[in-house]
Amino acid sequence: MTALEALEARELTTYQHRTPQSHALFARARQVMPGGDTRTGTFYLPYPLFVARGEGCHLWDADGHQYLDVLNNFTSLVHGHGHTAVVRAIADQAAKGTVHGTANALQVALAEVLCKRVPSVERVRFCNSGTEATMGALRAAKAFTGRPKILKMAGGYHGSHDQVAIAVSAPYDAVPPGVSPGAAAEVLVGRFNDLEYTAALIRAHASQLAAVIVEPMTGTGALPADRAFLDGLRQVTAECGVLLVFDEVITFRLAPGGLQEVHGICPDLTSFGKIIGGGMPAGAFGGRADVMATYDPSRPGAISHSGTYNGNATTMAAGLATLRLFDGAAIGRLNAAGDTVRARLQAAAVKHGLAVTVTGYGSIMQLHFGAGPITTPEQAAATDKRLTRLLHLLLLNRGVFTATRQTYVLSTVMHQAALDVFTDRVGDALGEIARAQKAAPVGVAS
């Protein structure tokens, strides 16, 4: 057994000894949910941690252990757990009714905030998730252009509806189980940060192509798009009469107007989610008034877009409270903290002699076990996932809650002491991995 295998076995045993209640809950879950799971992105073996409560930047599991939360529900909890102002907004509105089956003033107020913060958004509609947001934006593009196809990037994640489920992970030419072959046939797959290849594909299929959808920074991998790549996409789509859709479900937290503001690029449509709901299920999509008019119910032939919880009052109240607190100054402070953390993590890897690359922008980052630069999903996919899983286990056992893929997300309630704890514990865990890599096999004299 190698020293790395011994470290992995030790940490797995520690995890199982620490979390008997999570194990018991997982056993119950397996009796009523396939694989004991209802959210693929949060599943890991031998069983996921079951969390009982959260407060500020901490979580407590079913066994009572405390964790520093450096995931924040995959970027959606920008003010951490149970923020007083957000909880008050939810409670006040819930006392008046959570949802009323008709329009409410809070919808208008939150729509006004989005339109003010994001100049490319002239009209907006609400839904309940990022998946619904990208689906709504792409449907608008198809209705407006009269064209059936979309282009997305290999490795890009835009939710779980059929077309965007294509080419999320390698092999990128495979059709995922359960996805309609007809939907798959209407998807072209570009290459993130490869303008020459992607622009040629757009031009070759322009007559059938309704939209290009792209993340200004990938959610999986935290890989920022090159400005020249996004500029080039804007130019070639405009040239071909194809709509450009920015998926800012994740990246809207990185500037008052999202990363499109940082790059100075004006897409035709934008999808939102995560922080706009203040911890409640939320999504939105918006953009040019003429394109969004495809949803105007007062017009003949408009797209039908209903949803029992679209724009529900409780979510709107939580979103408004969250965004009022998250102004330009707060975003700047949080991004500066993220830049410092990212540099410290990279320095810790160098100190221990590990081939590690930390990518990201502002308050979102990801640690990859591989030498840089890492700028494409294909490069990120080639990194050492076994070491990534081991780091996840090491951090859980040391009271740090992260994504299995080692995406780290900061919140405004993480002050310097918490950031120091986080970077120190990641550094210590990297040191254990480095020592195990250099050690002789267990049971063999050095």
Q: What is the largest CA-CA distance in the chain?
A: 81
- Does the annotation mark 15 as catalytic? no
- For 235-308, list the strands marked E by DSSP: 243-247, 269-273, 283-287
The secondary structure of 395-440, three-state, reads HHHCCEECCCCCEEECCCCCCHHHHHHHHHHHHHHHHHHHHHHHCC
- Ordered by start, the domain boundaries in the chain are 3-78+328-438, 84-325
What does the pLDDT look like over 105-117, one tens digit per residue?
999 999 999 999 9
Q: Which residues contact 153 (CB under 8 A, 6 or more apart)?
A: 167, 189, 190, 191, 192, 198, 214, 215, 377
Q: Is 61 helix (H, G, I), strand (E, B) or coil?
A: strand
Give the whole-angstrom CA distance, residue 141 versus residue 172: 24
From the candidates 61, 162, 194, 247, which is the catalytic residue? 247
- Model confidence, pTM: 0.97
From the candidates 15, 47, 67, 157, which is the catalytic residue? 157
Give the whole-angstrom CA distance, residue 29 versus residue 35: 8
Give the whole-angstrom CA distance, residue 258 versus residue 367: 23
pLDDT at 442: 76
Domain 84-325: assigned CATH number: 3.40.640.10
- Does the annotation mark 247 as catalytic? yes
Q: In this structure, what DSSP letter does residue 81 have?
A: B
pLDDT at 444: 57
Residues of the chain below pLDDT 50: 446
- Does the annotation mark 173 as catalytic? no
pLDDT at 166: 97
What does the pLDDT look like over 184-227, one tens digit per residue?
999 999 999 999 999 999 999 999 999 999 999 999 999 999 99
From the candidates 142, 149, 152, 274, which is the catalytic residue? 274
φ, ψ at 125 (rounded to 5°): -130, 145
Instruction: Note whether 243 and 236 are within 8 A (CB).
Output: no
pLDDT at 446: 47
> Is it true that 3-78+328-438 and 84-325 share their CATH fold?
no
Tell me which architecture the domain covering 3-78+328-438 has in CATH.
Alpha-Beta Complex (3.90)
pLDDT at 445: 52
Q: Is 283 helix (H, G, I), strand (E, B) or coil?
A: strand
Give the whole-angstrom CA distance, residue 295 versus residue 334: 36
Instruction: Note whether 380 and 221 are within 8 A (CB).
Output: yes
